A and B are shown apart, each in its own frame.
Chain A
Amino acid sequence: MDNYEKISMVVNGKNYSLEVDIRESLLEVLRNRLHFTGVKQGCSVGECGACTVLVEGLPVNSCIYLAVWANGKRITTIEGISKAGELSRVQQAFVDEGAVQCGFCTPGLVLTATALTQTGRKYTDEEIKREISGHLCRCTGYNKIFNAVKRVLNE
C-alpha cells in the first residue's frame, strides 16, 4: 500500500477524507472517486483547460495537479457554483450571451471567469483575453464567451 496516501480536502464546502494513489491527478480523484463529473477531461496534459477547478480560489488544470497536493486545500468545481437553484452571475451571463454550444469547455471557463470576478480588479479587453487564453473552445470562436466574461466583469 505504499502507493497510497491519505488526504483531506474541502470540495464545494464539504469535507472529504480519502486515500489516494500518489500517482493520481486531482482530476481523476474528483471525477472517478467523488463523481464531480462537471470537471471535464479534454487532454489530460494541461493543454485545453477543460478540467479547470479552483484551488484556494485560483484556476488550476486539475489534470496536471496531483491529488496529494490538494491535501488541506479548498477546491471549487462547477458543481459548487450555483447556489440554491440559482445560477451565478457568470453562469447567467454565459447562458444569456449564447456562450455555450457543446458545453464541454464551459465548466472550466465559468470557473476561470468566476475567479476573475473575485479579484475585484478591472480588466482591459486584452487582459480578459489573456486570462482566459488557457481554455480551448472549438465551437464558439470565443466571441460570445468574451462577451459574457466582459459583461460580468463590468457589471
Chain B
Amino acid sequence: MAFEIVGKRAVRKDAAAKVTGRAKYADDFFERDMLVGKVLRSPYAHAIVKSIDTGKAKALPGVEAVITHEDLPKLKYATAGHPWSLDPGHRDVADRYILTDKARYVGDGVAAVVAVDALTAEKALKLIEVEYEVLPFVLDPEKAMLPGAPVIHEERPDNILGATSEEIGNIEEDFKKADYIFEGVYETSIVQHCHLEIQSAYAYVDADGRIVIVSSTQIPHIARRIVGQALGVPWGQIRVIKPYIGGGFGNKQDVVVEPLAAAMSLAVNGRPVRFALTREECFVDTRTRHAMKLYLKTAVTKEGKLLSLHMKPICNNGAYASHGHTVALSAGGKFRLLYDFNSMKYEPKTVYTNLPSAGAMRAYGCPQIFYALESHIEDIAREMKIDPIEFRKQNLISVGKKDPHSDIVVRTFGLRECIEKGKQLIKWDEKLEKYKEQKGIKRRGLGMACFSYASGTYPHGFEIAGARVVMNQDGSVQLQVGATEIGQGSDTVLSQIAAEVLGLPYDMVHVVSQQDTDITPFDLGAYASRQTFVSGAAVKKAAEEAKRKVLEIAAWKTGLSIEEMDIKSARIVERKSGSEICTLEDIAMESYYDRLNAAPIEGNASANVRTNAMAYGVTFAEVEVDMETGRIEIIEIYNVHDSGVIINPLLAEGQVHGGVSMGLGYALSEQLLFDTNTGRPLNNNFLDYKLQTIMDTPDVGYAFVQIPDPEGSVGQKSLGENTTISTAPAVRNAVLNATGIAFNKIPMTPQTVFEKLKQNGLL
C-alpha cells in the first residue's frame, strides 16, 4: 500500500503548544475559591488505626474539613485501569478504601485535610492525633508466604493475591527427554515511572450537582467508573476531564488521586479542591513496577533445541492489589510467542507485602520476564558453547505460530531480519573477535537480547476504542478520540491515519487533545501500546464513514458512483482520470447549507478490536566495565524493531530513545530502597533515586524492519512499550561477555558490580 501521510515525519500536533508553555496540564487550571487538600500518611508499615482525633486540626483557622475513613462510604474498590468486567470472576481485586482504617505500608493515607492553602493544610496534618496499634510487617514476598507471616488483608490469609499455573504440552515428559537441564534464578528491583508531571487532580461539584474531576490520567472513562464505585455514586454523576499529561508510563493507568479529590470536594460542599501529590509522595503513594524473583528451568537437547521451559516468577505486589496478578499473567502470554519450546509451564505468584503498591509500568511485566529469559538463554548458550545468536536463531518461532491459550497467531515475524540488522550496526563479529582475552582495567563486551510483545490486550483483555470525525465548512476536520495523548504521540499518529483515509493534508486534521467523559467517544485510554493499533482502527472507521458521506454528496451532484471518485489533497477527483471534480470545501459547504439536503458530515465509530498482532525486537549493546570502580559505561546501543508499518518515524525514534534510556536506568541505576527495619522509603526523591540524566544516556541507535501486518489498520503493530523491554538483558549479557561474570540481579550499580567482581577474585 502506498501512503501519502502515513510513514511521514509529521511534526507533533501539540509541539507548538508545548514549546510555548501554552499546553495546560491538570495543575494549570485555577478556579475561584480553590482549596488545597493534603493527606496524613502512616509512619508505620503495618498498623491498625485505633482512633483518630481531628479536633485540634479542625479548629485551626483556614481548615475547611478534615476527613477520615469514618466519614467515607465503607466501599472497597479496585484501582486498576482495566475495562469493567460484566463477569464477576474477571474483576480486579477490590481491596481498599479511600482512606484506610489499617495502614499497610509507610505512607498509607489515614486522614485528609482541606484548607485554604498548602501551608495551613500541612500544619493541620500535624495536629491530627492518631492512635496506632503497630503490627509486625513483611517486605519480602517469599517470607510473606510462610506460615505465621503477618496477614496484610484478612481476605487473603496467605498473602497470595494470585497464583496460577498454565501449561502448554507436557513439561514433565520433555524434561525426561532432555540431554541437559539448566536452572537459573534472576531478580529485578522495585522501580518507578518518574513521569515529570506528578499526579494531580482537582474536583468540584458543578451547577447541576455533578462531580467534575480534572485529572492527570491516562484513562478518563475508567477513572469515572472507579470514582463512582469508590464513592457509591451513579457513574453518570461524574465527569472526568483529562488535559495535557506530563507522562504516565502506566502509573496514570490507575486511579490514585481522583476518588480522594472528589471526596475532599464533597466534604466542603462541592467547592473546588486541588489534590496534588509531592514528588516524595508520588514515589510511595502511586504505583511501582513489581520486583520479581524468577526461577527458570529449561530442558535442551544436545543439538541445542529448546525443549521445555518452566518459569516461576514471584512478584512483589506491595500493599494493595492495583493491577495485581494481571501483570504477571499478561506478560506470560507475551513471551510464549518468541521461542519454539515443545512445552512450557508458567506459574507466577503475586504476593502482598507491606510496601507501596506495584501496578502497571511500561511493558507490563515484560521487562522482568525478558530480563530473566534472555539472561537464562544466554547462560545456556555459553554453557553449551554455542554462539548465543545462533542458539536463539535456531529456536525462534516462525510465521503461523499460534498460542494455544490465547489463539493469537503470528502473521508477521521480522525478528530474524532485526537480528541481522543489529549485528551489522554494532559490528558484532568484528568486535567480538577484538574483545577476546582482555586483561586490562577497562574491559569491553557485547551482548544482545530479544523480546516479543503484543499490540493491546486482546484476548486477555477487552479492546474497545472510539473516534469521531467532524467536518468543518472548509473541509478540515476535528478528530476526537477517546485514546489519550500522554506524551507518546498518539494524537499525531491518529491524525495521520485520519488524514490518510480522508485524503486531507495533515494540517487539515485538528485533533482535540483533551478528553472529557461527557463528550469524548468511549475508549479505554492509553495503555498496553494499544492506541496506534486499537484506537487507530476506530479512527480509520470513523474517517471512512465521513469519507463515504462526502462521496455520497459528490455522487448526487455529479451522477458518478461513489466508487468512481476519491478524495485527494482535499479535492474530489475522478479515480480513473485523476481529474478534479470539485473541492472538498464545496461538498462541506453543501453539507452545512444546502436548503434541501443539509446534514453536516460526521463519522462516528466504535471499534471492538478482537485481534492482536505480535511485535518483536532486539537490543544490541556494547559496554565497557571499569574493573576497579565497577562502573559500566554504554559504548554503543541499538534497538531494532519489528513493529509493522511505522506511521511516524520521527515519533517512533523518540519512543526508542526514551524506552532505551528508561531501560538503561533499569539495568544500571534505578532502585527504590526501603529500610528493612521499618519499611520506610530511603530514596523517594530525584536526588537519591538515580534516574538517567543526559550525561548518562548514550546515543541510541535504531532501525525498523517494516513488514505490514494484515491486522493493523495501516499495517502497524505496537511500539511504545516495546522499546524498553530488552535493554537490561542486553546490557547484562554484554557485561557477562566483558567480565565473565553473570549478574543475575538488576540494577548493576557500581557498588554491586564492584562487590561481585571482588567476590569472584577479579579485584
**Which of these binds chain A: B11-19, B74-82, B610-618?**
B11-19
CB nearest to B650 among chain A residues: A98
15 A–B contacts, CB within 8 A, in A order = A23-B119, A35-B30, A42-B246, A45-B685, A50-B196, A100-B15, A101-B488, A101-B654, A102-B247, A103-B18, A106-B18, A138-B194, A141-B659, A142-B697, A143-B697
CB nearest to B19 among chain A residues: A91
Residues of the A chain whose Cβ atoms lie less than 8 Å from the Cβ of B488? 101
- Contact B658–A77 (Cβ < 8 Å): no
CB nearest to B118 among chain A residues: A28
- Contact A100–B20 (Cβ < 8 Å): no
- Given A87-B20, A133-B693, CB of A98 within 8 Å of CB of B193: no
Whole-angstrom CA separation of A37 from B486 in the bound complex: 18
- Given A42-B279, A129-B695, A138-B662, CB of A37 within 8 Å of CB of B21: yes
Whole-angstrom CA separation of A106 from B25 in the bound complex: 13
Whole-angstrom CA separation of A110 from B405 in the bound complex: 50
Residues of the B chain whose Cβ atoms lie less than 8 Å from the Cβ of A87? 16, 19-20
- Contact B694–A98 (Cβ < 8 Å): no
B46 located at the interface, meaning its Cβ lies under 8 Å from any Cβ of chain A in the complex: no
A48 located at the interface, meaning its Cβ lies under 8 Å from any Cβ of chain B in the complex: yes
Residues of the B chain whose Cβ atoms lie less than 8 Å from the Cβ of A135? 694
B197 located at the interface, meaning its Cβ lies under 8 Å from any Cβ of chain A in the complex: yes
> Which of A23, A45, A141 has the most chain B CB within a 10 Å cutoff?
A141
* Mask of A63-105 contacts with B, CB within 8 angstroms, 1/0: 0000000000000011101100001000100111010111111
Q: Of residues 7 to 47 in A, which have CB atoms within 8 Å of B's CB atoms?
A: 23, 31-32, 35-45, 47
Residues of the A chain whose Cβ atoms lie less than 8 Å from the Cβ of B9? 98
CB nearest to B282 among chain A residues: A43
* Mask of A92-131 contacts with B, CB within 8 angstroms, 1/0: 0011101011111111001000000000000000000110
- Contact B700–A143 (Cβ < 8 Å): yes
- Given A136-B196, A140-B658, CB of A145 within 8 Å of CB of B694: yes
7 nearest interchain CB pairs? Answer: A38-B21, A102-B487, A103-B18, A104-B246, A141-B661, A141-B657, A78-B21
B506 located at the interface, meaning its Cβ lies under 8 Å from any Cβ of chain A in the complex: no
- Contact B278–A101 (Cβ < 8 Å): no
> Which of B19, B119, B246 has the most chain A CB within a 10 Å cutoff?
B19
- Contact A144–B653 (Cβ < 8 Å): yes
> Which of A31, A44, A133, A137 has the most chain B CB within a 10 Å cutoff?
A137
Whole-angstrom CA separation of A28 from B494 in the bound complex: 36
Question: Shortest beta-carbon distance, B32 to chain A, in Å?
Answer: 13
B675 located at the interface, meaning its Cβ lies under 8 Å from any Cβ of chain A in the complex: no
A153 located at the interface, meaning its Cβ lies under 8 Å from any Cβ of chain B in the complex: no
Among B20, B119, B279, B658, contact of A45 (Cβ-Cβ < 8 Å): B279
Q: Of residues 47 to 71 in A, which have CB atoms within 8 Å of B's CB atoms?
A: 47-48, 50
Residues of the B chain whose Cβ atoms lie less than 8 Å from the Cβ of A45? 279, 685, 687
- Contact A42–B198 (Cβ < 8 Å): yes
B28 located at the interface, meaning its Cβ lies under 8 Å from any Cβ of chain A in the complex: yes
CB nearest to B246 among chain A residues: A104
Residues of the A chain whose Cβ atoms lie less than 8 Å from the Cβ of B197? 40, 42, 102, 104
Q: Chain B interface mostly helix, strand, loop or mixed?
A: loop
Q: A40-B246, A103-B244, A137-B694 are in contact. List 15 more A-B contacts (CB 8 A).
A: A31-B28, A38-B22, A40-B196, A42-B197, A43-B685, A45-B685, A79-B21, A110-B19, A129-B695, A133-B693, A136-B196, A138-B662, A141-B662, A142-B661, A145-B694
B183 located at the interface, meaning its Cβ lies under 8 Å from any Cβ of chain A in the complex: no
- Contact A96–B657 (Cβ < 8 Å): no
- Contact A95–B700 (Cβ < 8 Å): no
- Contact A105–B21 (Cβ < 8 Å): no
Residues of the A chain whose Cβ atoms lie less than 8 Å from the Cβ of B650? 98
B423 located at the interface, meaning its Cβ lies under 8 Å from any Cβ of chain A in the complex: no
- Contact A102–B486 (Cβ < 8 Å): yes
- Contact A140–B279 (Cβ < 8 Å): no
Residues of the A chain whose Cβ atoms lie less than 8 Å from the Cβ of B20? 38, 78-79, 81-82, 87, 91
- Given A87-B19, A138-B658, A143-B700, CB of A102 within 8 Å of CB of B196: yes
- Contact B654–A98 (Cβ < 8 Å): yes
Whole-angstrom CA separation of A101 from B12 in the bound complex: 8
Residues of the B chain whose Cβ atoms lie less than 8 Å from the Cβ of A82? 19-20
B222 located at the interface, meaning its Cβ lies under 8 Å from any Cβ of chain A in the complex: no
Whole-angstrom CA separation of A47 from B686 in the bound complex: 6
- Contact A138–B697 (Cβ < 8 Å): no
Whole-angstrom CA separation of A94 from B246 in the bound complex: 17
Interface residues on A, range: 35 or more
Among B15, B489, B656, contact of A94 (Cβ-Cβ < 8 Å): B15
Whole-angstrom CA separation of A82 from B14 in the bound complex: 16
- Contact A77–B21 (Cβ < 8 Å): yes
B27 located at the interface, meaning its Cβ lies under 8 Å from any Cβ of chain A in the complex: yes
Whole-angstrom CA separation of A81 from B22 in the bound complex: 12
CB nearest to B686 among chain A residues: A47
Whole-angstrom CA separation of A102 from B245 in the bound complex: 6
Residues of the A chain whose Cβ atoms lie less than 8 Å from the Cβ of B658? 101, 138-141
Residues of the B chain whose Cβ atoms lie less than 8 Å from the Cβ of A142? 657, 661, 693-694, 697
B195 located at the interface, meaning its Cβ lies under 8 Å from any Cβ of chain A in the complex: yes
- Contact A104–B694 (Cβ < 8 Å): no
Whole-angstrom CA separation of A116 from B657 in the bound complex: 24
B509 located at the interface, meaning its Cβ lies under 8 Å from any Cβ of chain A in the complex: no
Q: Of residues 221 to 252 in B, which have CB atoms within 8 Å of A's CB atoms?
A: 244-247, 249
> Which of B20, B198, B278 has the most chain A CB within a 10 Å cutoff?
B20
Whole-angstrom CA separation of A143 from B639 in the bound complex: 14
Question: Shortest beta-carbon distance, B116 to chain A, in Å?
Answer: 12
- Contact A41–B27 (Cβ < 8 Å): yes
Residues of the A chain whose Cβ atoms lie less than 8 Å from the Cβ of B654? 98, 101, 139-141, 144
* Mask of B693-724 contacts with A, CB within 8 angstroms, 1/0: 11101011000000000000000000000000
Question: Shortest beta-carbon distance, A153 to chain B, in Å?
Answer: 15
Whole-angstrom CA separation of A98 from B658 in the bound complex: 12
Residues of the B chain whose Cβ atoms lie less than 8 Å from the Cβ of A105? 196
Question: Shortest beta-carbon distance, A132 to chain B, in Å?
Answer: 6
- Given A102-B247, A110-B19, A132-B694, CB of A143 within 8 Å of CB of B699: yes
Question: Shortest beta-carbon distance, A111 to chain B, in Å?
Answer: 10
Q: Of residues 311 to 354 in B, which have CB atoms within 8 Å of A's CB atoms?
A: none
Q: Of residues 633 to 690 in B, which have CB atoms within 8 Å of A's CB atoms?
A: 650-651, 653-654, 656-662, 685-687
Q: Of residues 1 to 46 in B, which have CB atoms within 8 Å of A's CB atoms?
A: 9, 11-12, 14-25, 27-28, 30
CB nearest to A50 among chain B residues: B196
Whole-angstrom CA separation of A40 from B15 in the bound complex: 16
- Contact A95–B16 (Cβ < 8 Å): yes
CB nearest to A42 among chain B residues: B196
CB nearest to B691 among chain A residues: A136
Residues of the A chain whose Cβ atoms lie less than 8 Å from the Cβ of B694? 129, 132-133, 135, 137, 142, 145-146
